[in-house]
Structure 1
Amino acid sequence: MINLIIIWCLIILFILQPGIAHDGAVAGAQLFMHALLPYLLPYIILTQWLLKIPTESRSPKSWKRYVKAYILGSFGGFPVGAVTVTEMVKNGELSRRESGYLLAACHAPGPMFILGFVGTELFGNTMSGWKLLAAIHIANIIFFLLALLLMRNSQTKRETPKQKNNAKTSSSPLLDSIRDSTNVIILVATTVIFFSALGNVLTSSISSAFTVDLGITKTLLLAIFEMTSGVQSATDHFFTSPVFPFLIAAIISMNGLSIHMQVFVIAKTADTPLLPYLISRLWSIITVPFILYLIL
């Protein structure tokens, strides 16, 4: 019943404010084309291709599989970590419990996004982008090591990954990787555009109903719904503020519902537990701005 009420309220808001919804959707589409697609698509295809190449045997050492998941997942951008972990589960390289911990640890924005879009275009300084990227990965590596410790001391070591049937191995891994990457890109584009439009409509509605600061309201709502739109709004309204870089770090660490929906949809295909992922988001929101403060 509550879901129906929320849905109908949002439908009514979109009908009453078609222009604002349109502007939000256009802004989301432009951000996707400019800030996400060029940085995300090549890495998703290459990661998928690498994971689909048949191997002679699976590595018997757990830490090698975990490092592989971290390297491929953490440096590809959202939601490449989820794609990597679920693909490794389907390949028989990870168990369900392992995938839950690794989904949480192997989740970071791509270096090209941080250095190219955030560092160069928002901060106006590539070195600041490098420092933010370092803060994100320091926090992630600490969480990754904690996850390894938990997996070692839990029943994970008694749960063996299910081996994939080699008879079903694809003879065209590149073509399959392009096909699967298309599905991921469509998912990313859909969530980014939808939540950007939703954030714009809600910002307008709240600003009309209450006396609030438009910059703060818009940045907060967009950060909750769509990360890329949130950092763009923060740049528009808080660029001269001394807290600006830490605000950007917090927004990127929070990710927004758009990215969370992408991860949830992808993780569902492998029945991956999501509680560690939710805990890791809280960890990042707290630690990444603090580490960035120490680095700066």
Structure 2
Amino acid sequence: MIWSLIALFILQPGIAHDGAETGVKLFVQALLPYLLPYIILTQWLLKLPVSEKSSPAWMRYIKAYTLGSFGGFPVGAVTVSEMKKNGQLSKYESSLLLAACHAPGPMFIVGYVGLELFGDSMSGWKLLFAIHAANIVFFLFVLLLMASRRTPDGERKHSSITNPSSAPLLDAFKESSTIIILVATTVVFFSSLGSVLTNVIQAAASVEMGIVKTFVLSIFEMTSGVQSAALHFYGAPIFPYLIAAILSINGLSIHMQVFVIARSAELSLKPYVIGRIWSVLAVPVFLYILL
């Protein structure tokens, strides 16, 4: 498969270049301005020394959801992994919360999807509410699972693998730069790959370009898929629900970001996969109820 992809990139360098250029523009214009400031602040907060007095479990869970679900992808994975490393969460808790603390940032949904794609900030707010309604239902289910298995404090302390930072802000900048590079790399690669495969499918089969391009780009890179859907389906009755589904699918670019971060903290990915399936099914339904 890899050799086939290498051959495609060699045979269609212009398409690959255009896809990579599109990925760079998406990252710089649609992701970096919304993602970087929040990641720095989140990392700064998580790098601050934690009190020796153990806080109630529900407060740690709410902290993980609040920080992780309102900063955009992949801030949820970063938050949960960092809390696991500093001993606030166990491996079991972190694996479950990885699935629940996963949502696009409000600035991206309201500012980019709402204003630029829907042309209405209120529609963006409704979509954001639908996403978090589905996430909160799943979060409550996760809380029930964790309540049935109380984690001893010793297990959380044993999971800690890092010492408190002596310079939290500097470490926050360092960690944030690593995450941003990961996001940029995956966005550019999967945007280029999606463009090449779209061109190949169009050449091999007589199919409608709008449908193929939107489907393929949505599988590989969420933001590219959303832009393609806006280009080819804007004004159609299905348009808002198609956007909701694409945002719930996330795309391989975001999944790869989460997988890399989760694996670095040795977290299980099974709850995350289940959470994404639930999100794809539930978010369009909640949005339909709101609209």
Q: In which range does the TM-score fall when normalised by the shorter chain?
A: over 0.9
- Map of 1:114-263 to 2, 5 A cutoff? 114-154=109-149, 156=151, 160-162=155-157, 164=160, 168-263=163-258
Query: Deviation at 1:59?
Result: 3.2
State the Cα distance separating 1:165 from its structure 2 match.
Answer: 7.2
Scaled by the length of structure 1, what TM-score is found? 0.95
Looking at structure 2, the residues matched to 139 and 78 of structure 1 have their Cα atoms a distance apart, in angstroms, of 16
The reply on whether 1:276 has 2:271 as its aligned counterpart is yes
Tell me how far 1:269 sits from its aligned partner. Answer: 1.1
Give the Cα–Cα distance (whole angstroms) in 2 for the partners of residues 187 and 88 of structure 1: 20
| Fraction of identical pairs, as percent | 66
- Do the aligned partners of 2:74 and 2:254 also contact (CA within 8 Å) in 1? yes
Gaps of 5+ in 1: 1-5
Q: Give SS of 1:160's match.
A: helix
How many pairs does the alignment contain? Answer: 290
SS where residue 24 of structure 1 aligns?
helix
Task: Give the structure 2 partner of residue 110 of structure 1.
Answer: 105
What TM-score do you get using the length of structure 2 for normalisation? 0.97
The answer as to whether partners of 1:95 and 1:159 remain within 8 angstroms in 2 is no
1:11 is paired with a residue of what secondary structure?
helix
Alpha-carbon distance between aligned partners in 1 of 2:75 and 2:240, rounded to the nearest angstrom: 25
Q: Are residues 1:56 and 2:46 paired? A: no
Q: How far, CA to CA, are the matches of 1:70 and 1:159 in structure 2?
A: 23
Name the stretch that deviates more: 56-65 or 259-268.
56-65
The answer to whether structure 1 residue 72 and structure 2 residue 82 are counterparts is no
Amino acid at match of 1:202: L
Structure 2 unaligned blocks of 5 or more: none
Cα pair 1:59 1:65 within 8 Å, conserved:
no
Aligned to 1:24: 19
Q: Report the AA paired with residue 25 of structure 1.
A: A
RMSD (Å) for aligned C-alpha atoms:
1.3
Answer whether contact 2:85 2:161 (CA < 8 A) is retained.
Answer: no
- Measured against aligned partners, the alpha-carbon deviations of 1:87-143 in whole angstroms (never above 9, x if no partner) come to 000000000000011000000000000011100101110000000000000000000
Q: Does the residue aligned with 1:240 lie in a helix, a strand or coil?
A: coil
Do the aligned partners of 2:86 and 2:164 also contact (CA within 8 Å) in 1?
no
1:73 Cα deviation after fit: 0.2
